[in-house]
């Protein structure tokens, strides 16, 4: 190729074109995972919307098979609805949304999800996503939405409105090259785990065979979104500061820092002035240059600030986790832990919650990973949660082998910015502070488990001894009766009462651990 022709094929591509060619980055890879991803994106949006509006969620998820690897997915909620002019952006424009730029602990954070499902639907069936929504104002809107991949802009068809008293959002997507089953990666498993981590939600799931499963809420406490957080000066990068400078309404760098960052007040500005000078702080943020932002960030790192606000996090709570695990898994024993909030990367708040359920109806080992109460089913090996679980010496807590135990380990990481490994949002990156806090939470739960396993071991030991004595009791009673000249039945009754009295502690242990020892 001649040198002058080298760049003839140079073209710009939209973000939609990029993700169309790299759909696996969004979780649309295998046929089972693609269906689960679609369910995840719609359900996450519904739960986030209900919580932000202070509504107890009622979700209805229906999957119907219409052909080989061809399904229709319907998700309906009782949320606040979506303004009709916003619907096209939600479902027809990638990297558009209400969450990416806000420091709140929502399930979806990148503004890709719902629009990603729209793109996948039109790629595999050529069909739009149908949206029905109402704000509860007596007006219901319906429309079909697709994406113009070349420009990453929405295409809206069949838009209409009519009167009605319903409130909420219903989305219907026809998907090809997807598959429903009941494997550990399935849409059903995703909903089962969603119900466990969201005890305030009532979820109805209908599978392609028409089988209906309902997970009833075990908590009637409305989850309300906390206040929005602000970037902390110790966690901010030069690029972050430059981005803020381009969008701030402040007229001076000093006022920008006070308005846009957390924990920056007049005293902090006065101290910062000693490092960078008053001229820079009085400069218009729109004119801020990279090297000047570097000076500011370097100076901030040398200063002391109060810790980031931690009341921006939304926890499930140890009590609610225990209620949910007991109601849904019916274990013999449950230990739960909600750790105090911490920060990573200098200024991003997070907290870790752990629940461990053992024995009872639980068969085998299962690790349930969550980020902001959303299940993480895939990429388990790449996740910091998995690595933390594997790093704990469970024998110390009376568990000889996780894989040979009847145990469920539930881990939820809450943060205003979950450090995902990829855009697929299925694994948490190995951030040192997050990893260590997960380990600490697991070990705290382990100490509680130790009490249970010790009692269980003692109960099993006593039960074994009692069984041996009970086995020989008739023979012993018969021999003693001959020696004493008594009725063998009377002697056996006396010995039996003595044996029960001797092992009264066994009964107490059995009551404490919630069931008879095996």
Of residues 171, 212, 219, 218, the one with CA closest to residue 188: 212
What confidence score (pLDDT) does residue 487 get?
A: 85
> What region does 397 belong to: left with phi over 0, alpha with psi -120 to 50, or beta?
alpha
First-residue to last-residue Cα distance in the chain: 78
Q: Percent of the chain scored above 90 by pLDDT?
A: 62
Query: What is the model's pLDDT at position 416?
Result: 86
Calpha distance 38→12 (Å, rounded): 28
Of 249, 310, 235, 236, nearest in space to 284 by CA = 249
pLDDT per position as a tens digit, 229-258:
778 888 788 988 998 999 899 999 999 999
- Between helices 432-484 and 488-502, what is the axis angle to 10°? 160
- CA–CA separation, 137 and 169 (whole Å): 13
Q: Is 78 helix (H, G, I), strand (E, B) or coil?
A: coil
Chain segment 251-291, per-residue pLDDT in tens: 999 999 999 898 899 999 999 999 999 999 999 999 999 99
**Poorest-pLDDT segment among 186-200, 313-327, 448-462:** 448-462
Token pair belonging to 205: 């799931």
The pLDDT tens digits for 19-33 are 555 565 566 888 999
The answer to whether 124 touches 177, Cβ cutoff 8 Å, is yes
**Strand ranges (DSSP E) for 17-69?**
58-67
pLDDT band at 17 (very low <50, low <70, confident <90, very high): low
Mean pLDDT value across the chain: 86
User: What are the pLDDT digits (tens) for 340-380?
Assistant: 888 887 678 899 999 999 999 999 999 999 999 999 999 99
- Residue range 141-161: mean pLDDT, rounded: 93
Q: What residues does 352 pair with on adjacent strands?
A: 413
Burial of 6 (0-12, 13-18, 19+ CB in 10 A): exposed
Whether pLDDT at 455 is above 80? no
pLDDT at 518: 38
What CA dihedral angle connects 510, 513, 515 and 518, to 10 degrees?
A: -70
Count CB atoms within 10 A of the CB of residue 223: 23
Nearest to 263 by CA among 301, 298, 307: 307
Show the CA angle centred on residue 349, arms to residues 347 and 354, nearest 5°. Answer: 145
Identify the pLDDT of residue 29: 81
Round to whole Å and give the CA distance between 428 and 154.
Answer: 31
**Six-digit token string for 22:** 């790299």
pLDDT tens-digit map of 339-348: 988 888 767 8
CA-CA distance, 295 to 308, in Å (whole number)? 22
pLDDT tens, residue by residue, 176-223: 999 999 999 999 999 999 999 999 999 999 999 999 999 999 999 987
Q: Each residue of 85-109: pLDDT tens digit?
A: 999 999 998 755 444 344 555 555 4
Which bin fits 74, alpha (ψ -120 to 50), beta or left (φ > 0)? beta
């Amino acid at each position: 190729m001649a040198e002058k022709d080298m760049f003839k094929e140079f073209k710009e591509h939209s973000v939609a074109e990029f993700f169309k060619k790299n759909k696996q980055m969004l979780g649309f890879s295998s046929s089972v995972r693609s269906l689960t991803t679609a369910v995840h994106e719609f359900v996450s949006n519904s739960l986030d919307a209900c919580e932000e509006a202070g509504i107890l969620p009622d979700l209805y998820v229906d999957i119907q098979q219409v052909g080989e690897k061809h399904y229709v997915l319907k998700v309906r909620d009782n949320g606040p609805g979506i303004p009709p002019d916003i619907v096209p952006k939600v479902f027809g424009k990638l990297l558009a949304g209400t969450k990416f730029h806000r420091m709140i602990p929502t399930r979806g954070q990148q503004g890709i999800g719902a629009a990603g499902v729209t793109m996948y639907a039109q790629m595999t069936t050529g069909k739009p996503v149908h949206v029905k929504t109402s704000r509860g104002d007596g007006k219901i809107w319906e429309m079909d939405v697709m994406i113009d991949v070349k420009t990453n802009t929405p295409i809206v068809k069949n838009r209409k409105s009519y009167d009605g008293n319903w409130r909420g959002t219903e989305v219907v997507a026809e998907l090809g090259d997807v598959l429903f089953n009941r494997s550990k990666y399935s849409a059903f498993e995703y909903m089962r785990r969603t119900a466990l981590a969201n005890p305030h939600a009532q979820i109805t799931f209908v599978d392609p065979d028409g089988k209906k499963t309902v997970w009833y809420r075990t908590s009637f406490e409305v989850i309300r979104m906390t206040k929005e957080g602000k970037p902390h000066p110790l966690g901010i990068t030069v690029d972050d500061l430059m981005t803020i400078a381009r969008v701030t309404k402040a007229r001076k760098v000093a006022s920008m820092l006070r308005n846009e960052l957390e924990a920056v007040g007049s005293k902090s500005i006065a101290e910062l002035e000693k490092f960078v000078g008053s001229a820079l702080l009085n400069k218009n943020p729109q004119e801020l240059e990279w090297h000047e932002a570097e000076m500011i960030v370097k100076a901030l790192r040398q200063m002391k600030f109060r810790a980031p606000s931690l009341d921006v996090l939304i926890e499930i709570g140890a009590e609610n986790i225990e209620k949910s695990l007991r109601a849904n898994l019916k274990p013999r024993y449950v230990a739960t832990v909600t750790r105090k909030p911490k920060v990573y990367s200098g200024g991003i708040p997070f907290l870790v919650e752990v629940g461990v359920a053992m024995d009872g109806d639980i068969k085998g080992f299962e690790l349930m990973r969550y980020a902001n109460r959303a299940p993480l089913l895939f990429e388990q090996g790449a996740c910091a949660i998995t690595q933390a679980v594997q790093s704990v010496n469970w024998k110390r807590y009376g568990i000889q082998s996780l894989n040979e135990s009847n145990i469920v380990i539930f881990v939820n990481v809450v943060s205003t910015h979950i450090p995902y490994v990829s855009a697929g949002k299925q694994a948490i990156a190995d951030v040192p502070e997050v990893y260590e806090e997960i380990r600490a939470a697991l070990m705290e739960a382990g100490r509680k488990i130790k009490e249970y396993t010790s009692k269980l071991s003692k109960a099993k030991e006593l039960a074994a001894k009692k069984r041996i004595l009970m086995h020989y009791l008739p023979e012993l009673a018969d021999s003693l009766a001959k020696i004493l000249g008594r009725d063998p039945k009377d002697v056996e009754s006396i010995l039996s009462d003595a044996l029960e009295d001797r092992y009264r502690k066994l009964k107490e242990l059995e009551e404490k651990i919630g069931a008879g020892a095996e």
